[in-house]
Structure 1
Amino acid sequence: MAEQLQERPTVSAPRHTPVSPSPSAPPQGNSNVDIETPPSKSEEDQPPNGGYGWVCVACCFWINGSTWGINSTYAVFLAYYLSHDYFPNTSALAYAFIGGLSISMAMLVAPLATKCTATFGTKVTLHVGVFFETLSLIGASFATQKYQLLLAQGVCFGWGMGFLFVGSVGIIPQWFTTRKSVANAVAAAGSGCGGLIWSLSTQAMIDNLGLPWAFRILGVLSFTINLICSNIIRDRNAQVGARNRSFDWSLLKRPEFLLVQAWSWLSMFGYVTVLFSLPSYARQIGLTAQQGSIIGAIFNLGQMLGRPFIGLASDRFGRINLAALLSAMCGVFCLVFWIPAEVVGSQMGLLTFFSVVGGALAGTFWTTIAPVAAEVVGIQDLGSALSWTWLIMVPPVTCAEAIALEIRRVGVVDFVYINAQVFCAVSYIAGGLVMWVLRGWKIGEMEEIERIKHKEERRRAQRGAMLQQESEKGHAHSHDGERDSTLTREVSALSARKQGWDLKDLLRRMMKVQKV
């Protein structure tokens, strides 16, 4: 999840009303004008672009590893549940819902976590998350009925993950300017690293110590790691003027923001399907439980290795460009490498290759959602935009794996998962196409901002010449000029967003080669 940002062109203000650039200004050539102009900041309020920010990156890395990383081990648990009658009278569909429920609960509590951050501060929000996640894992170790497992591993773990994720996800962009994408990508790689470590260790713990002790050990380790990181990490909410609003209803009236939500839906249908299905798919085609857990771990290794490179590439080639391209590429890889894995001579070899490359591509959404949302709504409204995103994502993350298991072919030996694999691939490809449309809008907005900028510069030059000739009259009209400039900025922001949806030029802009 994250961003780089350099200087972005904005509508210029008069010389007597300087406007500091947003702390998350996009790369040169990209632009996003906020309706409300942020207040001027003193030099010391600017992001240090590193320093203690790297400590915060390390904390977010391990928080992600001990939340999303542990959550990804549900693929190991799911494979175990499907092959053992540990919880009597529990269907595969019920098990599938538990895995999706943990993610959906994390998304559902996001607005509450955002409100908690605004009211009580970041540390309180993170500590609440530590409490719920620890309680869930220890509680799951004593579960004997499926409803107990659903409440512990599904609902309670999701609450803990949600508070930890929301409390930490917005911190890194506050510490960096030009290195935002790299810093966020490194932190996001923590989920892959955690998934790699926990997937292998969880399978070993289940085999040697049993399911209850696997839960308890995970609970103690996650408590220790998350508590240390929660107390070391620091935010800069006061310096950046973060609004931390749970909901801004005006965002739902903006077509470009709705496209981001469509991309999130499609990405989650694909991501949850491949994340939770790989180990059980491996066992279905004849591999062992140990090989299945290794495939799941390698998939997380791919995420860990791929996310920093996605961050670096988005710095160089543009965030929306990369989000569109890599989402579509992930769908293509599912068709080309995942489906044939069942019939090749070396099943483990091809599935391992797909897990590495597909894992690197599958997490594109998590690496780019924050910078993409910042491009669309601006840094000050990023918290609200992400809260909406997490909430709107609840249905797909809840139902994705359940859909995948339900559309499996029943009563056949070969290609049992073919429908789920196609479902995953089509979701990713469609998500890439949605982002390509958003890219066309963004280029249109940028072109309009550039036009307004040049127009405003000419207006300022004319006004400066007039004030030079009539200094006293110019002083009398200075406040009118300030009000006019504020009004111009507000009108320009709305005009630029609308101009981006000029359908006559949208297709041309979609085909234009440009960093976005």
Structure 2
Amino acid sequence: MSPSEISPPPDGGYGWVCVASCFSINCFTWGAVASYGVYLSHYLSDTNFPEAKPIDFALIGGFNFSMAMLSAPVVTIIARKYSTKLPMLLGLGFLATGYITASFATRIWQLYLSQGVLVGFGVGFVYIPSIAIISQWFDKKRSLANGISAAGSGIGGLMFSLVDGTVMQNISYAWALRLTAILSCSILLIATLLIRDRNNAIQPSGRGFDIKLLRRTDVLLLLLWAFISMFGYIALLFSLPDYAHSMGLSDTQATTVNAILNLGTAVGRPLIGIISDRFGRIEVAGLLTCACGISCFAIWLPATSYGVLVLFAFVSGAIFGSFWVTIGPLCVEIAGLEQLQSTLSLSWTFIVLPTTFGEVIALNLRRSGSQKPYLYVQAFCGI
């Protein structure tokens, strides 16, 4: 189908129902994953898994992202051959099984498979099919619609950070995991049933891994930006609660810092969408990535009080996830609507390594017992 024959996006209508569905998907997949910093802080200070090392817990959190991204080619092929909703329903099964079995884990390898691999696959199977749908429904308001959708991860992260932290302090971390499974799968089922693609009108290529795209310089530059920036994103997302503990702050304050980070995400992402539509999607993505790096040096590095750390959490939260807001519109901008799913699939594949090892690097850079244990981590994130 030639570009002239493609049915143009309606820029609204049922598209707004799809935005609400994608908002919910972000809320109860990435939002739940964004609260892993609270679990990480708990695991690092507890003895539930005595044979585990800090690097194990960092890898488990990284698997939430990398396994989701690694599943992208398979998910893209399943969605093309059958339907968008089939992989999403399979993902609900992975998520429920992952969180529930993690709540009963007694060995670290069990936590790897459950809270790491299964949850990661669950997120990927639910999220990956949904990310291309909004761009199929919108043109002029594409970045705004994607920004509203992406804000769901901030709302979810805020909610799960507070709920999980409270449940862990008053009941147990096991029940925090079970509650996450119940809440997430219930809402995600509704969102899956409501979402609707426009594949019949657009006829996307839907290739799991289109190697021809790698011959294009603009695509390679996009993938390089994603690869490098994701190291800082993961390290910052997961490290902040434990950094708060290293300052001598309480569990409640550390949980609040993580919640504020996600609040900033919820506020910032729709705004990123608005200014991207107005001033250019490529330009805004690049400038905000740079601004986040500067904030690590200007605000986080000299932070010595709870108030300054909260300020940094909000500011960085608003801008540090610009990748997730802009990646869909950027792929359309660079490769076109027909190649959207294939370019997205390449993007997910390229960020497998940084999402797996970003926090591993951060924990290895941490210098426990020193006056500034997170100095090298802060520099790493900024750079």
Equivalent of residue 205 in structure 2, options 234, 239, 243: 243
Q: Please list the CA deviations of residues 107-146 of structure 1 after superposition, one character each: whole Å capped at 9, or x if unmatched.
A: 0001101011001101111101111111111111111100
After superposing on structure 2, the runs of 4+ consecutive aligned residues of structure 1 that deviate more than 6 Å are: none
The reply to whether residue 341 of structure 1 matches residue 303 of structure 2 is yes
Equivalent of residue 194 in structure 1, options 156, 165, 169: 156
Q: How does 1:187-336 map to 2 (within 5 A)?
A: 187-336=149-298
The reply to whether residue 85 of structure 1 matches residue 42 of structure 2 is no
Output the TM-score relative to the length of structure 2: 0.98
Other structure's SS at 1:64 match:
helix
- 1:37: how far off? 3.3
The aligned residue for residue 69 of structure 1 is 31
- 1:81: how far off? 0.4
Q: How does 1:408-419 map to 2 (within 5 A)?
A: 408-412=366-370, 414-419=371-376
The reply to whether residue 171 of structure 1 matches residue 133 of structure 2 is yes
The aligned residue for residue 364 of structure 1 is 322
Q: Is the Cα–Cα contact under 8 Å of residues 69 and 351 in structure 2 kept in the other structure?
A: yes
Residue type of the alignment partner of 1:257: V
Question: 1-side partners of 2:85 and 2:260: how far apart?
Answer: 33
Residue type of the alignment partner of 2:255: S
The aligned residue for residue 17 of structure 2 is 55
Moved more, 360-369 or 46-55: 46-55
- 1:47: how far off? 2.2
The aligned residue for residue 124 of structure 1 is 86
- 1:38: how far off? 2.8
Question: 1-side partners of 2:114 and 2:346: how far apart?
Answer: 25
Q: How does 1:386-425 map to 2 (within 5 A)?
A: 386-412=344-370, 414-425=371-382
Equivalent of residue 183 in structure 1, options 137, 145, 154: 145
Residue type of the alignment partner of 1:281: Y
The aligned residue for residue 145 of structure 1 is 107
Q: Please list the CA deviations of residues 301-335 of structure 1 after superposition, one character each: whole Å capped at 9, or x if unmatched.
A: 00110000000001110001101111000000000
Q: Is the Cα–Cα contact under 8 Å of residues 136 and 337 in structure 2 kept in the other structure?
A: no
Q: Which has the larger radius of gyration?
A: 1
Q: Is the Cα–Cα contact under 8 Å of residues 289 and 320 in structure 2 kept in the other structure?
A: yes
The aligned residue for residue 3 of structure 2 is 38
Residue type of the alignment partner of 1:419: Y
User: Between Structure 1 and Structure 2, how many residues are aligned?
Assistant: 383
Q: How does 1:465-504 map to 2 (within 5 A)?
A: none
Moved more, 365-374 or 186-195: 365-374
Question: 1-side partners of 2:380 and 2:164: how far apart?
Answer: 29
Q: Please list the CA deviations of residues 244-285 of structure 1 after superposition, one character each: whole Å capped at 9, or x if unmatched.
A: 111111111112211111101111101001000000000011
- 1:211: how far off? 1.4
Structure 1 unaligned runs (5+)? 1-35, 427-516
- 1:337: how far off? 0.4
CA-atom RMSD, angstroms? 1.1
Equivalent of residue 155 in structure 1, options 107, 113, 117: 117
The reply to whether residue 105 of structure 1 matches residue 105 of structure 2 is no
- 1:46: how far off? 3.2
Question: 2-side partners of 1:339 and 1:132: how far apart?
Answer: 39
Q: Please list the CA deviations of residues 358-394 of structure 1 after superposition, one character each: whole Å capped at 9, or x if unmatched.
A: 1011011111111112221111111111101101111
- 1:411: how far off? 4.0
Other structure's SS at 2:5 match:
coil
Question: 1-side partners of 2:4 and 2:223: how far apart?
Answer: 29
Question: 2-side partners of 1:40 and 1:323: how far apart?
Answer: 30
Equivalent of residue 378 in structure 1, options 336, 343, 346: 336
Question: 2-side partners of 1:123 and 1:117: how far apart?
Answer: 7
Residue type of the alignment partner of 1:216: R
Residue type of the alignment partner of 2:309: L
Q: Percent identity?
A: 46
- 1:214: how far off? 1.1
Residue type of the alignment partner of 1:40: E
- 1:295: how far off? 0.3
- 1:348: how far off? 1.1
Question: 1-side partners of 2:63 and 2:87: how far apart?
Answer: 21
Output the TM-score relative to the length of structure 1: 0.73
- 1:88: how far off? 1.2
Residue type of the alignment partner of 2:222: V
Structure 2 unaligned runs (5+)? none
The aligned residue for residue 498 of structure 1 is none
